[in-house]
Structure 1
Amino acid sequence: MASRLQDERLGPTFGAMQIGTSLAVFLTGSATVQTWNYYRTYPEDSVYLKMLVAVVYALDTTHTMLVAYACYTYSILDFGDYAPLEHIILPSSASFILDGLVTFVVHTYYCFRVYHITQSRALMGSCWAMALVRLALSVLISATLISLGRWDTMWKDSMRSYVALMQCVGAAVDVLIAVCICSSLVRQRSGFKSSNTLIDRIVAFTLGSGLLTAVVAVAETITYLTMRNYIFMAFYTITAKLFTNSFLASLNERAYLRRDLENWCLDWTGLSISIRYFRNYPEDRLALRALVAIVLCIDMFHSAVLIRAVHQYTVEFFGDDQAAATLVWSLKMAAMMLGINISVVQMFFCLRVYLITRSLVLAVITTTLALARFVIHIRQMVTMFSATTLAVVTTSTFRWEVTSLLTVGAASDVLVAASICWALLRMRSDFASSDKLVDKLVAFTIGSGLMTSVVAVLEYLAIDGFAFALFFSILGKVFSVSLLASLNERKDSRRQLAAGRGPGSGKSSSNHVTIEMRRTHFTTHEDGSPRMFLAEGDDKLPTV
């Protein structure tokens, strides 16, 4: 069997597993954001629901870690050895069990939702019975694979029947749950336009989340039954992630459904912070929206070429030590996109420094550091594009460039954070609500600034070997997330500010306090003493 794999291309086999692992890591990141949003937004939820979220997220994260470790074992620890590719290692076996558990837990949650919406025990029982059948088939498949321990077990007739039946039952459960919930909601339509619009959007959301998991299950079944390779594993690997994200998105949407039926819109926190920005801030200036789009495109291209580089080294160059020592173009492009992404985000925050501090000196210093980092990055790209092997990373020139790059970049990040925090702290007043908001913005700024600096320091400490590539891969993502999180934080700050103006919050509500933050100019209506004030009609909060 090893000779068969050695004569075949690994793209449709092990390469498909690797692509599925990359997608799984991405979806786990989305689930992490959703979990954070859930615990921050719904502290009043019952302890049982909070525990359920924790269990689902823990199972999903563990599943991702096992899949990633299995991929690492096959591609790195067993590099060049085709024989181990035929064996199912323990992390792979355990991932099959966790996939079934995650799916069953989420199905059980949706079965209870069916009962609460339809008040039909028969429908709930039918859905849960089918979910239980899927779990039993998943356990049976996992036990068979563990006992035999070889991937060629997947091509036995009995195993093909089990997998096809499991996926068909799972797809049927998803469709049945979605149909039950949607039909019940449609029957609740009334003559009020606002409530009908709300119901229509909930129905669309339910159909979308339910049909997505069903479509993936069908795609996995078709590729498994019609192709004698492991392409179906790319769909299998992300199945549990889709269920986790669907579950968390259904919980996180509640706050946005409760706010205002007349002007309701979904926050889409469950998809990504970039989509959340475009959905929630359509009134932002075209230049700012274009900047976000540019950063998003650069970040996505960086991820694509980085995945391509990993695929080349671990799949296309599998067993070829000479080819694995070359410096491929995709890795060069990944390094170039990383530097461009960081430079764009740093220039945005340099402009933020001037808008908040109104200090030309601080703005010039931070901009100079950002430009200096970009110049060093260009010099480093010249070194990399002129090299042909990975040995370039061990040269003194490359190390000097990386050291200078990280030092100047970290200095720029710290100075930007310190400048913004200094300006914010000067805005503190005697009003509890505004002071609380200032403290929150200061903590957020320090956290985002230190995160990028810490990653840069860790990359510098690992420069003696290839371990620095780990931090090199995520540094651009940290900058992108920092930019998008700072923009998305504005509505949360506005809601906190509005809640602080209620009775019993800080000073007397009779004091008419307003905030004008469009030009980061602060004053008050009454005594002129506070530097920060809150305006009922102006919610253009600064994003830090």
Structure 2
Amino acid sequence: MSWKDIPLPPGFSRGLTVGAIEIGNDVGLFLMGIVAAQVFSYYRQFSRDPFYIRLGVAFVFVFDLVHTVLLSKVIYFYTIVGPCDPLALDHIDRNLSISIPFLGLVALIVQTMYCLRVLRITESTILALGCWSLALARFSMHLYSTYLAFVAKSLHTAITWKRFHGGLLASLACGTAADIAICVCITVGLWSRKTGFERTDKLVDKVIAWTIGTGFLPTVIGIVEIITYEIMPKNFIWMGLWWTMSKFLSISLMTSLHQRTAYSKNGTDFSMALGASSGGTSNFATGLRFPVDKSHEVSGIRMELSTVTKSELRDPERDSFHYKPEGVMSIGYEDESRIGAAV
């Protein structure tokens, strides 16, 4: 008897179940490679970032890697063991259940970093805590869904069980709501801090576009997950999307951390660090060092930016650095390393 002759639970399609999660796993493996490259690049370029930010990036990478390994073992179970055992196709593999909290941990760390950025930009503890409460609720629902997955054991039971359906839907909704809230808060906060200087305002517009762009994919994936899970619970299209969610969150964070390189190439004096200042900063473009105003030595996430002209940047005769900003503003990262380049 071939695997095609093996009966499936009522309402299940092999192509829309095993096929969907296998495609999701393949896409996830590809995205994991991108995450690994971004993390490697980050540690090479930004080794002077505060320890807790570098540690956070390490945790995100490790948790995402564990999540990927567990889901690859799930694929092995359903594609190798499953065809030989009809009952296995309706069984929730324990690796699938264990992978849920690792996705929750990745999401919690990434969204916590963004919430710190919300705090620095908006200077509103209420908004930051509001966004973080949604992130924390998401993680709590991931833990609850993990418990229900171990209890249910059967895919058919889990899908038809209202508690499991409600718990999983709540985790998806909280995560999407957190992504949207963070993006809106950062965007509005940046918009309200425009200085009236043309170059600075253009840069703010670029940062807003980056903010929307980096948060767009996780938000869209979350919305599509909710829709597909709600209208098509008996196929695993939503699970194939869920397979990739942690990767999109990791890529979003790493892209955000790499923004300072992009802006320095555009000719902007771009200060972006993610922790306490050390009393002096390194200029990435020139290798020079100059003192930091002690008033900027605050914890959390803050970024300062300004634009300079070519003539203001360096005096070849005296080999000195002249800094005459058109405007200075905070856009969510603390001053640790100043990047100078010509406009």
Which of these residues, 56, 69, 75, is aligned with residue 73 of structure 2?
69
2:216 and 2:10 map into 1 onto residues whose CA distance is 39
Instruction: Pick from 167, 176, 189 the counterpart of residue 162 of structure 1.
Output: 167
Q: Counterpart in 1 of 2:262?
A: 256
Structure showing greater Rg = 1
What displacement does 1:218 show? Answer: 1.1
Matches within 5 A, 1:197-212: 197-212=202-217
* Matched position secondary structure for 1:190: coil
**Contact 1:21 1:237 (C-alpha < 8 Å) held by counterparts:** yes
Shift, 1:127, TM fit: 0.8
Provide the residue aligned with 2:182 in structure 1.
Answer: 177
Where does residue 29 of structure 1 map in the other structure? 33
How many Å separate the matches in 1 of 2:129 and 2:90? Answer: 41
Query: How many Å separate the matches in 2 of 1:132 and 1:78?
Result: 35
What CA distance in whole angstroms lies between the structure 1 residues aligned with 2:77 and 2:168? 25
Tell me, yes or no, if the aligned pair for 2:131 and 2:178 is still in contact at 8 Å: yes
Q: 1:7 to 1:199 in 2, by over 3 A?
A: closer
Q: In structure 1, give the amino acid aligned to 2:74.
A: A
Give me the whole-angstrom Cα distance separating, in 2, the residues matched to 1:219 and 1:58.
Answer: 27
Tell me: higher relative CO, structure 1 or 2? Use CA pairs within 8 A at least 6 residues apart. Answer: 2
Check conservation: 2:101, 2:139, Cα contact below 8 A: no
Alpha-carbon offset, residue 5 of structure 1: 4.0
Distance between the aligned counterparts of 1:192 and 1:105, measured in 2? 35
The answer on 1:149 being equivalent to 2:156 is no
Please say if 1:107 is aligned against 2:97.
no
Equivalent pair of 1:102/1:243 in contact (CA under 8 Å): yes
Whichever residue aligns with residue 208 of structure 1, its letter is: G
Aligned to 2:293: none
Q: Distance in 2 between matches of 1:101 and 1:214?
A: 17
Q: Find 2:240's aligned residue among 221, 234, 241.
A: 234
How far did residue 248 of structure 1 move?
0.9
Aligned residue type for 1:120: S
Q: In 2, distance between residues paired with 1:45 and 1:174? A: 25
Amino acid in the other structure paired with 2:245: T
1:128 matched to 2:132? yes
Q: For 1:68-87, list aligned pairs within 5 A.
A: 68-87=72-91
- Distance (Å, rounded) in 2 between the aligned partners of 1:223 and 1:241: 19
More strand by share: 2
Offset at residue 173 of structure 1 (A) = 0.8
The answer on whether the counterparts of 1:67 and 1:92 sit within 8 Å (CA) in structure 2 is yes
Q: State the Cα deviation string for residues 63-115 of structure 1 (Å, max 9, x = none).
A: 01110111012212443332111111121111111111111111111111110
Q: Distance in 1 between matches of 2:240 and 2:125?
A: 36
Matches within 5 A, 1:294-373: none
Which stretches in structure 2 are left out of the alignment for 5+ residues? 1-5, 271-282, 290-315, 318-343
Q: 1:48 & 1:82 partners in 2: Cα distance? A: 48
For 1:255 and 1:213, locate their aligned partners in 2 and report how far apart those are by CA, in whole Å.
Answer: 23
What is the CA–CA distance in structure 2 between the aligned matches of 1:230 and 1:184, rounded to whole Å? 38
Partner of 1:214: 219
Kept after mapping to 1: 8 A contact 2:194/2:200: yes
1:361 alignment counterpart: none
**Normalised by the size of structure 2, how large is the TM-score?**
0.73
| Distance in 2 between residues matched to 1:260 and 1:166, nearest whole Å | 39
Give the deviation of 1:226 after TM superposition.
0.6
Aligned to 1:92: 96
Q: Deviations over 1:292-348 (max 9, x none)?
A: xxxxxxxxxxxxxxxxxxxxxxxxxxxxxxxxxxxxxxxxxxxxxxxxxxxxxxxxx
Q: Give the number of equivalent residue pairs.
A: 272
Post-superposition shift, 1:194?
A: 1.9
Asked if the contact 2:214–2:255 (Cα under 8 Å) also holds between the matched residues in 1, the reply is no
Which amino acid in structure 2 is aligned with residue 205 of structure 1? W
Residue 8 of structure 2 aligns to a residue whose secondary structure is helix
Alignment partner, residue 335 of structure 2: none
Task: Give the letter aligned to residue 194 of structure 1.
Answer: R
CA 1:166–1:4: 2 relative to 1, 3 Å: same
Q: Distance in 1 between matches of 2:228 and 2:86?
A: 23
1:195–1:261 CA contact under 8 A, matched in 2: no
CA contact (8 A) 1:194 1:261 kept: no
| Partner Cα separation in structure 2 for residue 185 and residue 110 of structure 1 | 14
2:242 alignment partner AA: Y
Q: Is this contact kept in 2: 1:104–1:131, CA < 8 A?
A: yes
Report Cα offsets for 1:225-273 as digits up to 9, x if no partner.
1112111111111111111111111111123324554699xxxxxxxxx
Aligned to 2:144: 140
* Cα distance in 2 for residues equivalent to 1:30 and 1:211: 18
Partner-residue secondary structure (3-state), 2:7 = helix
Do the aligned residues in 2 keep the contact of 1:194 with 1:262 (CA within 8 Å)? no
- Cα RMSD of the aligned pairs, angstroms, is 2.6
Equivalent residue, structure 2, for 1:60: 64
**Residues 108 and 128 in structure 1, CA contact (< 8 A), matched pair in contact too:** yes
Query: Which structure's residues are more often helix, by fraction?
Result: 1
Match in the other structure for 1:119: 123
Q: What is the CA–CA distance in structure 1 between the aligned matches of 2:256 and 2:98, rounded to whole Å?
A: 28
The percent of aligned pairs where both chains have the same amino acid is 30
Return the alpha-carbon distance in structure 2 between the equivalents of residues 94 and 242 of structure 1. Answer: 20
Inter-partner Cα distance in structure 1 for 2:213 and 2:159: 31
